[in-house]
Amino acid sequence: MIICPLCDHVQPEGTECDVCGKRFPAAVAEAAAPVATLPELEVTPHAGGRAPVETSAIPDLDLTRLRSGPDLPVQPVPDLQLTRARDLGPVPVAPMTELDTGRAADDGVRTAAPLGAVVCRYCRNTQATGLLCDHCGMRLPRAKPAAAAAPGRPSADDDGWRSCASCHTRVRVGKACPECGTRAQEEA
């Protein structure tokens, strides 16, 4: 697993972070160490476990097998609890008037999206612009513009990022969305 050093996103593979786009340093391929056979060791061939093996029966053992069960007739047990209930017939269903559903009546008032300066929830830095905190690099809880929230539409600079069709999170084309897992498709 790869952990992004900028945003701490964990992903299984890739050359850049699926969330913030930071390029990962290239892994240095180590040269394989030469392997030499030791002359004093015996070389044992391996046939993959399918080599025939000669076997013979031991004369002192009885050739018996365990049976699947005793050879007794099946008998009912009178005090055994049955697993099926008897047929009860039609059961009357009535709504419970005293049941609280736990939902308040909708008053139509919605919480406004955070606009302007926001406070980073990690380092408490106040910042007016940008999606990432200038101090710690974490994502800020900022409302996205309506143009960028349209599913599958390119952004203004068309840098290879798209909005996820399911949750509208920014994601690279061909990569899985870090929020919901939906794979972003190229527009036809």
- At 90-103, the pLDDT tens digits run 888 888 888 887 88
Looking at residue 89, its pLDDT comes to: 86
Looking at residue 115, its pLDDT comes to: 74
Average predicted confidence (pLDDT) for the chain: 77
**Cut 0.85: pTM above it:** no
Round to whole Å and give the CA distance between 15 and 75.
69
- Determine the residue type at 151: P
Looking at residue 55, its pLDDT comes to: 83
> What is the sign of the dihedral through the CA atoms of 24, 26, 27 and 28?
negative
| Whether the Cβ atoms of residue 173 and residue 182 lie closer than 8 Å to each other | no
Using 50, 70 and 90 to split pLDDT, how confident is the model at 148? very low
**1-51 tens-digit pLDDT:** 888 888 888 888 888 888 888 888 876 667 788 888 888 887 776 666 677
More confident site: 51 or 144: 51
> What is the sign of the dihedral through the CA atoms of 120, 125, 127 and 132?
negative
